[in-house]
Amino acid sequence: MKSAACLSVLALALLAGCSKPATPAAGTDAAPAEAAAPAPVDALQAAIDSDLRSPAEKARDAWRHPKETLEFFGATPDKTVVEIWPGGGWYTNILAPWMATGNGKLVLAIFDPAAQSDEEGRARTEANNEEFKANYADPKFGTIDYTVFSRVSGPLMEPDSADIVLTFRNIHNWMGRGYEQKFFNDAYAALKPGGVLGVVEHRLPSTGTQDPAAGTGYVHEDYVKALAANAGFEFAGSSEINANPADTADHPYGVWTLPPVRSGPGEDETPPEGWDPAKYEAIGESDRMTLKFVKPAE
């Protein structure tokens, strides 16, 4: 049988093992362990992965590289970003929820009803614009401002108020209507000194002949740089993140021969010689230039 003294010593030892560790004396190296800080949330990647985007949209990330492209342009969610002609909203579905996380401002320059030559066309454009806006009424997209851009439109927004203006595969459209220079001039006016213009466009090889109307959808990189320089921009760099060396840019139905449009002969049309849709499917989406321009700081 253990003595009372032995039991008392054992009890004290057990109590000591369960008690709160003593605070280290001043001047010693010991310190209480701290919980590891949580990993920072990548808000841009979260927007890219969001359920606000469809599986079909996400399937194109491998060709369009939204994260790397936006990071190259220096976009951050606390800035004022203008997206020109968002179309079906492929980039908008990334930009809107991302900008909402940083209290930035997203401005979408949509189609301009005033550019239509007839009342029916104006009404149709207005209806399409209202339908587009309704798609972004969900609070998850944050607050979006709207403006318009066309051959007859006024300023994109107040002068010197935007941090970044972005356009994705639109310049060939404006070339077809003869007002591509207007876009660069309008973007320059809207940007703050030091602001960025980001351009992604289907790239015509330097050895190719540039159609002034860009009927194939492809544009010379040097021509884009010249348009930017004419407006006052300085060239700030290029990225090959959206390049596709397999694209020869000489397809029978222009860039629209390739995915995702996949244009081809109609039912009553004789296919071009050697027509093979599988060949164009294997090429994938177009080769694209990714260019950054800066409005000089004052």
pLDDT at position 298: 74
Backbone dihedral region for residue 271 (phi beyond 0: left; psi -120 to 50: alpha; all else: beta): beta
Residue-range domain boundaries for the chain: 41-294
Distance between CA 214 and CA 172 in Å, rounded? 5
54-91 pLDDT per residue, tens: 999 999 999 999 999 999 999 999 999 999 999 999 99
C-beta of residue 147 within 8 angstroms of C-beta of residue 156: yes
194-204 pLDDT per residue, tens: 999 999 999 99
Fold adopted by 41-294: Rossmann fold (3.40.50)
Question: 56-77 burial by CB neighbour count: b if 16+ within 10 A, else e?
Answer: ebeeebeebbbbebbebbebbb
The one-letter code for the residue type at 217 is G
**Mean pLDDT for all residues in the chain:** 89
Is the per-residue pLDDT at 13 higher than 60? no
Find residue 147's DSSP bridge partners: 109
148-195 pLDDT per residue, tens: 999 999 999 999 999 999 999 999 999 999 999 999 999 999 999 999
As separate numbers, helices (DSSP H) first and strands (DSSP E) second, the chain gives: 11, 8
**Cα dihedral 295, 234, 96, 101 in deg (nearest 10):** -70
Question: Which backbone phi and psi does 128 adopt, to 5 degrees?
Answer: -65, -40
C-alpha atoms less than 13 angstroms from C-alpha of 76 in its C-beta half-sphere: 5
Interstrand relation of 105-111 and 191-204 (parallel, antiparallel or unpaired): unpaired
DSSP labels, 34-96 = -PPPPPPP-HHHHHHHSTTS-HHHHHTHHHH-HHHHHHHTT--TTSEEEEE--TTTTTHHHHH
C-alpha atoms less than 13 angstroms from C-alpha of 16 in its C-beta half-sphere: 6
